[in-house]
Amino acid sequence: MWDKDYGGPAEDWLRSLALTDDGGYLLAGDSYSTSGGDKTESNIGAVQTWIIKTDSVGNKQWDKTIFANGTVTTANAFQTKDGCYAIGSYTWAEVGWDKSQSTWDSSVDYWIVKFCDTLLTGVTELTQNVNLTVYPNPFTNDIAIAIQKQGLIDADFAITDMLGRQIYTQHETNLSSSYTKMLDLSYLPSGVYLLRIEIDGERVVKEIVKE
């Protein structure tokens, strides 16, 4: 009926394929690739888990790399009942990036990660009547947050690292219906951060990557 090929610049090994609630597919495996081809994020360790979500005929909707400071071998991935995603793997990576706990006795351990699509790296997201764009992502120094919403009043911005430590917070008022906030984040070390934005009571969380 159809076939599709997905890959990055280096070797990518499929380990798991699961149906999703919308009739699409969730692919998960081990990737040696930097960004390029179908892969939008570069690895942190030599081998990382790479997730691809497709529609019912195999068109890629999004992809995500699960970051760890070391090698990760993927075992399985599936959509959970609440519409989020769970990934099971094994790794000897230490604390850092998406991994919050050390290994036991520096050995190879199980590792399970759960995330929801509000944490996906992306440039455009529509939440009810709010159009939000975050770019570029990954970024090097500056990042732009563009908001379009009729009757926009105020917005709260916060950035935390993957250990939950707050890095930036700001409350903005008297905004126009089309507003762009520029942030100079050149002082941050390379890594993955969570950008939280609350717009007139609507909350959005995005994962941003500093190269």
Q: Which of 102, 118, 134 is the last residue of a domain?
A: 118
Q: Tens of pLDDT along 23-51?
A: 889 999 999 999 899 998 889 889 999 99
Q: Tens of pLDDT along 58-70?
A: 999 889 999 998 9
With bands split at pLDDT 50, 70 and 90, how would you rate the model's confidence at 163?
low
Residue 80 domain-assigned (yes or no): yes
Q: In this structure, how many other beta carbons lie within 10 angstroms of the beta carbon of residue 5? A: 7
With bands split at pLDDT 50, 70 and 90, how would you rate the model's confidence at 166?
confident
Domain that holds residue 189: 124-210
Number of domains in the chain: 2
Q: Tens of pLDDT along 86-131?
A: 999 999 998 888 898 889 888 999 999 988 764 444 434 445 578 8
CB 175 within 8 Å of CB 146: no
Same domain, 110 and 129: no
Same domain, 94 and 21: yes
Q: In this structure, how many other beta carbons lie within 10 angstroms of the beta carbon of residue 207? A: 21
Same domain, 145 and 177: yes
Tell whether omega for the bond before 136 is within 30 degrees of 0, i.e. cis: yes
pLDDT of 7 strictly over 90? yes
For residue 84, give the nearest of 29, 20, 160, 128 by alpha carbon. 20
Residue 34 domain-assigned (yes or no): yes
pTM (2 d.p.): 0.58
